[in-house]
Amino acid sequence: MELTAVGAKKSYLREIAYVTLTSMVPMLGSFSFVEELITMFVAVALDNGVIETPDELYLAMCLRRKYPWYDWAKALPHWHGKHILSEKNVRKVVPILCEVSEENKSLFSSWHPQLHTVWNEIFDLYFNKQREYELETMEPMHFDLLWDAVVERGLFGSGSTQFRRYWGFLLLERLLPYLSEDTVPALMSPNIVRALSDNVSLNKKSLLAKVSMRTAESLIGVCEGNTKVGLAVLTHLLNQKSGIGQASGSGGSGKQMSLRTMMANRIVAKLDSQAIIGYVAYLQEMILTPQKAAKQSSSGVAGRTLDKGNMSAKAVDKQRIWAVDQMVRVARFAQLPITDEL
């Protein structure tokens, strides 16, 4: 396949070469010798199952989804489980999606400002309701596990480059349409909040500062439109020891404004006492009847433990602790409109 040769010689052309190959995947089934064609794809385009790049991962995911009957255990001997994103493969998936390689640094010698195409397939897998059956039968890792491993501890991890943090912010923006109160803890995790603190500035004009500020504005927009999400984000912001994003004022005023304060003020402006009472009632339900709260959750994240109605004792305890912590933070925040009923 000449396309794989082009991608091997010119790293900046590798993604488009593999996207072109992947677009051919549905057509393989129209040939009587489809199995031989898949074998050829695996041998040439996937280097006999040695998957090292997002391009190869994208092609492999699409091939396995389209032709599940093929002997993938034999074709991809180094990848375990029913799905290539199985929890058993998380250590292989992380460096691929973070685009790092200690063994072969030339694999990722060029940087691209857009998210890799493989993320389209990943988000479609977890958020497309028409693929719920695939999640139940093929058992890929839960989305929050993938997010923690790749985004929180990978793209936003200690020592991560500005280029990978940039991808991290793009993924944050990508997740926002699916954000709900029970996905906020993943979004507002320590490394992500620290990245906002380090990069969001109202005065900086760097590309990273611009995308991080855009992400923060998008997050505020979601919070303003969804009370439960807004309160969950607000209480997480209140738990941060330092302000998120110190930005120096212009014109010699010498004043500094914390993005945390800006976000908190804008979220609070959209809240009334009834909204807060509703949120506290939701937290109470999480403590008293966690299974019921999980089922009623509006989360769009498929494959999460909370959505399956069979939460482990550890997951229940973790959720109850989080709910109590949220209540304490709400009670301590003086700017909220508190009434006698609340």
In the predicted structure, residue 301 carries a pLDDT above the cut 50: no
Query: Percent of the chain scored above 90 by pLDDT?
Result: 35
Whether residue 234 is predicted with pLDDT greater than 80 in this model: the reply is: no
Q: Are 67 and 43 in contact (CB under 8 A)?
A: no
3-state helix, strand, coil in the chain (%, to 5): 65, 0, 35
Radius of gyration over every alpha carbon of the chain, rounded to an integer in angstroms: 23
Contacts for 9-18: CB closer than 8 Å, 24+ residues apart: 11/106, 11/107, 11/108, 11/109, 11/110, 12/110, 12/112, 14/53, 14/55, 15/54, 15/55, 15/112, 15/116, 15/117, 17/55, 18/45, 18/55, 18/56, 18/58, 18/59
Indicate the pTM of the whole model: 0.78
Instruction: Give the residue from 174, 147, 178, 152 showing the smallest Cα distance to 165.
Output: 152
Asked if pLDDT for residue 298 goes beyond 60, the answer is: no
The model's pLDDT over 159-185, given as tens digits with 9 standing for 90+, comes to 888 899 999 999 999 998 888 777 787
Give me the mean pLDDT over the 247-257 stretch. 38
What confidence score (pLDDT) does residue 83 get? 94
Q: What is the pLDDT of residues 13-47, one digit of tens each?
A: 888 889 999 999 999 989 999 999 999 999 988 88
Q: Which residue has the tokens 């109590």?
A: 324
SS3 (DSSP) at 173: helix
User: Cα–Cα distance between 167 and 171 in angstroms, integer?
Assistant: 6
**Rounded Cα distance, 107 and 87, in Å:** 24
pLDDT at 120 over 60: yes
Residues 44-102 have pLDDT tens digits of: 888 888 899 999 999 999 999 999 999 999 999 999 999 999 999 999 999 999 999 87
Asked if the model's pLDDT at residue 122 lies above 90, the reply is yes
Give the list of residues 6+ apart from residue 257 with CB closer than 8 angstroms, or none. Answer: 202, 246, 247, 249
The amino acid occupying position 110 is: S
Furthest-apart CA atoms within the chain: distance in Å = 75
Interatomic CA distance for residues 326 and 239, integer angstroms: 10
Query: What's the confidence (pLDDT) of residue 6?
Result: 64
Residue (of 127, 111, 130) closest to 175 by Cα position: 127
Crossing angle of helices 14-23/54-66, nearest 10°? 10
What the block records as the tokens of 34 is 């489809």
Given this model, what pLDDT does residue 213 score?
A: 84
Q: Stretch 317-341: mean pLDDT, rounded?
A: 73
Pick from 117-126, 192-201, 209-218, 315-324 the range whose average pLDDT is largest.
117-126
